[in-house]
Structure 1
Amino acid sequence: MSPRGVAIPDLRERLFAAAERVVARDGAAALTSRAITAEADCAKGVLHTHFAGLDEFVAELVLDRFARSARQAEALEARVGEATVADNLQEVVVALMDALPSAVVGLAVTRPAAALHTREGFRSGVPAFDAIQHAFTAYLQAEQRGGRLPADADPATIALALVGTTHHLLMTRVPGRQEGAEATVRRLLDVLLRS
């Protein structure tokens, strides 16, 4: 355990990762401030020193993971012409689903204070599905200019369909059944990119 009064490097990420491990191992019902700090090997009160409570913490975890996923989606443009268009898009979608465990998302939408804080974060500009959709559209337009997407394809509609499906899968998937979600995304991309 870190000594009292000593700064803990990357504390937010350490707490976020600990929370994800607790949820993965013990389920959403086991997610308490004490369980998180014990998993992170921190003092019991450290979470409440940095967050107003568990609801704010859960919301900040979801906002952080969305922002991370948006950055990964924005990095797609650097991959234009590499691998396949479907593989590049699938990689980002799978990473997004991995970054947002369904149990954590469930907490963020079912706990009223967490849901409110999450919505406020999105309204204040934290990137979410809209940023990911924009990044997918920009990537697909670049691939279209390079000839790897048909000239008559509609990048904005493809991006919208992919983001909508990803949202649906995040909200309805069964923990531990990632393969089914990945197969669904692959089938959707096969249809969308065939046009």
Structure 2
Amino acid sequence: MPTGVAIRDPRQQLFDAAERVLLRAGPNALTSRAVTTEAGVAKGVLHRHFTDFDAFLAGLVEDRARAVEARAGALVAAAGTGDLVENLTAGLTDLFSPVAVAMVALITSRDGLRARLRAAGHAGIPVLSHGVRMVTAYLESERAAGRIAATADADMLAFMLIGSAHMHFTSGDGGPETIRELVSTTVVMAA
């Protein structure tokens, strides 16, 4: 690897490389060597920006969880407009991108990473827990707009939707039609 070559955004370059390795080969293939090789940088670059590989992985998860938080704002802004089922279907389909599904597998497969995330204050499994908060906020906004029953338990409905959608996406049966049917069934319970 050449030395002395400036890297524009090394953290992002490493995160993007980690995603590619994760998608191509799964969580067990995700090593510091695989990431730096994929990124085309010396191994020292990773360790210059992160104390160890679990710190790198925690940074990757937190970066991707922030993206979920950004999408949450758009979903909540859609409350009271358009079709509720379509809004939720689009939100869940967007949430459960291949990267997000792989990220959940990564978190559940690495004890050190889960410990690091818990120490940083993350409850549950980031990405999924962020998704629950996103759907809860959306459903609360829809409840306030009168589009679902005032007695609907937004938290419980969000957990049901996230858990069910995750199962569908990890089984390969998570296409938009399946998710739309799941959302329609859940919304009927909220009416």
Equivalent residues in 2 for 1:1-195 (5 A)?
4=4, 6=6, 8-98=7-97, 99-102=99-102, 104-123=103-122, 129-166=128-165, 168=167, 173-174=170-171, 177=172, 180-182=173-175, 183-194=177-188, 195=191
CA separation in 2, counterparts of 1:2 and 1:163? 45
What displacement does 1:18 show? Answer: 0.8
What whole-Å deviation, never above 9, does each CA across 1:8-60 have from its counterpart, x for those lacking one?
Answer: 33322221111111122233333221221222222221111111222222222
* CA-atom RMSD in angstroms: 2.9
CA separation in 2, counterparts of 1:60 and 1:49? 14
**% of aligned pairs identical?**
36
Contact 1:59 1:114 in 2 (8 A): yes
Gaps of 5+ in 2: none
TM-score by length of 1: 0.76
Residues 132 and 107 (structure 1 numbering): CA distance in 2 closer, same or farther, change over 3 Å?
closer
Contact 1:56 1:113 in 2 (8 A): no
| Number of residue pairs the alignment of both structures matches | 186
What whole-Å deviation, never above 9, does each CA across 1:139-174 have from its counterpart, x for those lacking one?
Answer: 22322333433455443332232233345557xx15
What whole-Å deviation, never above 9, does each CA across 1:83-105 have from its counterpart, x for those lacking one?
Answer: 32122222222222214242x43
Gaps of 5+ in 1: none
CA separation in 2, counterparts of 1:132 and 1:105? 12
Q: Which amino acid counterpart does residue 37 of structure 2 have in structure 1?
A: A
Contact 1:93 1:166 in 2 (8 A): yes
TM-score by length of 2: 0.78
